[in-house]
Amino acid sequence: MPGFAGRQAGISLKGEVSDHKENFDETHRGAKLFKRCLRYFLPYKIHIFFAALFMSAAGLCDAGTAWLVKPALDELFVNKNTELLLFIPLAFVGVTLLKALMKLLQNYLMHYAGLKVLEVLRDELCNKIIMLPVGFFESSRTGVIMSHIMNDVAAIRSSMPAAVMIVRQVITLISLAGVVFYQNFELALCSVVVLPLVFWPFVYFGRRVRRFSRKGMEQTGELTSQLQEVLSGIKVVKAFGAEDREKERFDRENRRLMNLALKGSLTGELASCSMEIIAAAGISLVIFVGGMQVIDGRQSPGTFFSFIAALILMYEPIKKFSAANLSVQTALAGAERVFGLLDNPELRMEAGGGTIFMPPFRELRFENVVFSYPDGTRALDGIAFSVKAGEKIALVGPSGAGKSTVVNLIPRFYDPQEGRLTLNGTDLREYDLYSLRSLISTVSQDAFLFNTSVKENIMYGLEDTDDELVRHSAEAAHAAGFINAMPQGFDTLIGERGIKISGGQKQRLTIARALIRNAPLLILDEATSALDSESERLVRNALDRLQADRTSIAVAHRLSTIMGADRILVLDKGKIVAQGTHAELLRVSPLYVKLYEMQFNIGNDGAEARTKSSTLKAEPWCR
């Protein structure tokens, strides 16, 4: 079947071409990555230059050690030259001490350069990540981000030391090759016959190591992310008795990581073994030919053993050359992930305009705003309303109506795809981000606190704040009582995410944080929805003080908290379906009436109750 055979040959040829192209692309990408890494080491070029100089000296010491074998054998053991009996051993010790000193200086300088590059890269990566929009963090896993900053960057640190190590081994190899050819040109030619074969494992296994390293780093990110998730939700894990499930998940992912590490390690060992076998074949050939020359009297035993010593030492740099290459490949795998994040054109850092917000706050306006999330889900569809200075606006509606999305657009956590938001008549995108966000204080349902002192949490985001102002803010937030009862008062550490205090206490600390900021616009995102009755009462009182003389926008789940609002916007499916006061909405908005009846358990006979409610004086704002 010639046609079938031809097709098979064609398929085989295409496969070879594809493999060659893949190898070429991998090599080309590796060269670009290494060049990029090199830029970070350039500020420390003096350190690297002297490190390379000391490496070269250490390589020459190896050549000197091999050269000393000849006089040691010929003069001491064959000719019994007593004059050199003291000199040659001292020369060996001197060469060894010099080599040790050179290696010590070289290692210190390279570690210094590597650690400084590690510091710079981590800073740069962290600066890039922390300036990315909120959407990036919502679509990324925390553990994977942490792995980028800690593990992937650490791998790059070894790239330059490994590259300089390669240079050192090349210098050592050339020096020893000089000794080899000087001692016996004929045998030297025999030894270099197998030299090209020695570099085959270096190239072939190097690419495989990089692939395994890349997969290993990805798996490390997954494992870190899973571990971070479990530790953050440990109470949920224990409450649902899911310890065994989480242990099995971790064991499974950890086993995958170990398997990748073992494959990478085995690949490295195969490269080393292959080189040793090829080197052994070359040395065996030399021993055979050289042995014949010694037997025939064409060279002395000292010359032969000096040659063998130099040859063995010459193959040692080749092995180290391979090990250094494996380190470079691992570093390039880390560089590929790090620079993929740093250079990704889709990951654009938050950008503001050049306009600085100048008080007073007069009006915030939504003009036909349309917003969709990256997965295509439309959250807002033609939202239009305004908030004037001193107004208290509330947003209500069923889950998924778009309430939180509305307030997330104000500090520009997201930007609308259509329409615009204006502040005092100027598009929000024209304002400097820091300036814009400085006019906003936010109190949300998720009262996030840092693992630091009470005082530092209250004054978070402010540079130097007077202790008296911190205390005044805590008192206004009804938080001073429980703070003073703590062991170290305002200096008490509250644990990760404020784990050492209750939900109501955490919420009052975030209110104190908002009070001390003294911003003209206040955003309340379901600030009391997760609290018990007593905590809610205290938090509402604190919120009353917080909202005094401020413009506020409140996302509310409990309608009882927003009945005194100047205006209530009812949202449904991303649109404003009604707006007005509480009493007006009870008359004109079926959706608001439904929400009201559901929360207050009013049945079909509740018309009278609604009417009575609409005529009652509205509750004080957030009380």
- Evaluate whether 65 touches 176 at the Cβ level (below 8 Å): no
Q: Check whether 480 has a pLDDT greater than 50.
A: yes
Q: What is the mean pLDDT of residues 125-146?
A: 79
Of the candidates 308, 342, 376, which is a domain's last residue? Answer: 342
Domain count for the chain: 2
- The distance of Cα 195 from the centroid of its chain, to the nearest Å, equals 42
pLDDT of residue 359: 84
In a shared domain, residues 370 and 280: no
Counting DSSP H helices and E strands in the chain, the numbers are 22, 10
In a domain, 310, yes or no: yes
Query: Are 244 and 298 in a shared domain?
Result: yes
Top mean pLDDT of 112-116, 134-138, 297-301 is at: 112-116
Whether pLDDT at 591 is above 60: yes
Contact 163, 33 (CB under 8 A): no
Q: 194 and 305 share a domain? A: yes
126 with 244, same domain: the answer is yes
Which of 503, 491, 401, 486 is closest to 449 using CA atoms?
503
Q: Are residues 149 and 276 in the same domain?
A: yes
Q: Is 178 helix (H, G, I), strand (E, B) or coil?
A: helix
Provide the 10 A C-beta neighbour count for residue 23.
13
| From 140-149, 421-430, 533-542, 580-589, the region with the lowest mean pLDDT | 533-542
Most confident of 3-12, 143-152, 598-607: 143-152
Q: What separation in angstroms does the CA of 371 have from each of 351, 400, 533?
A: 18, 13, 36
| pLDDT at residue 27, rounded to an integer | 62
Q: Are residues 125 and 53 in the same domain?
A: yes
DSSP state of 355: B
333, 90 Cβ separation under 8 angstroms: no
* Residue given tokens 């330059």 in the structure block: 160
Lowest pLDDT segment from 76-80, 130-134, 144-148, 546-550: 76-80
Average pLDDT over residues 369-383: 87
Higher pLDDT, 473 or 173: 473
Percentage of the chain modeled with pLDDT above 90: 11
Q: Are residues 400 and 251 in the same domain?
A: no
Decide which of 43 and 14 is more confident: 43
DSSP assignment letter at 479: -
Residue 495 lies in a domain: no
- Token pair 């085959």 is at which residue? 200
Pair 301, 435 in one domain:
no
Domain boundary among 296, 312, 342: 342
Average model confidence (pLDDT) across the chain: 76
Does residue 75 carry a pLDDT above 70? no
> What number is the average pLDDT over the span 276-299?
70
Rounded-to-integer distance, Cα 226 and Cα 220, Å: 10
Q: Is the pLDDT of residue 229 over 80?
A: no
Domain edge (last residue) among 342, 374, 402: 342
Q: Is residue 20 part of a domain?
A: no
Q: pTM (2 decimals)?
A: 0.66
Q: Which domain holds residue 80?
A: 41-342
pLDDT band at 569, cuts 50/70/90? Answer: very high
d(CA 314, CA 308): 9
pLDDT at site 579: 92
> How does residue 368 score in pLDDT terms, banded at 50, 70 and 90?
very high
Higher pLDDT, 252 or 278: 252
Give pLDDT tens digits for 208-226. Answer: 777 777 787 778 777 877 7
State yes or no: pLDDT of 486 exceeds 70.
yes
Digit-coded pLDDT (tens) for 612-621:
444 434 443 4
Q: Which pair of structure tokens corresponds to residue 243?
A: 């310890």
In a domain, 493, yes or no: no
| Residue 247 located in a structural domain | yes
- Domain membership of residue 250 (yes or no) is yes
CATH code of the domain in which 398 resides: 3.40.50.300
Domain presence at residue 276 = yes
Q: Phi-psi bin for 556: left (phi > 0), alpha (psi -120 to 50), beta?
A: beta
Packing angle, helices 533-547 and 467-476, rounded to 10: 120
Is residue 537, in this structure, part of any structural domain at all? no
Residues 375 and 270 in one domain: no
Q: Are residues 367 and 404 in the same domain?
A: yes
First-to-last alpha carbon distance for the chain, in angstroms, is 90
Same-domain status, 369 and 331 = no
Q: Are residues 79 and 188 in the same domain?
A: yes
What CATH number is associated with residue 182? 1.20.1560.10
More confident of the two residues 405 and 206: 405
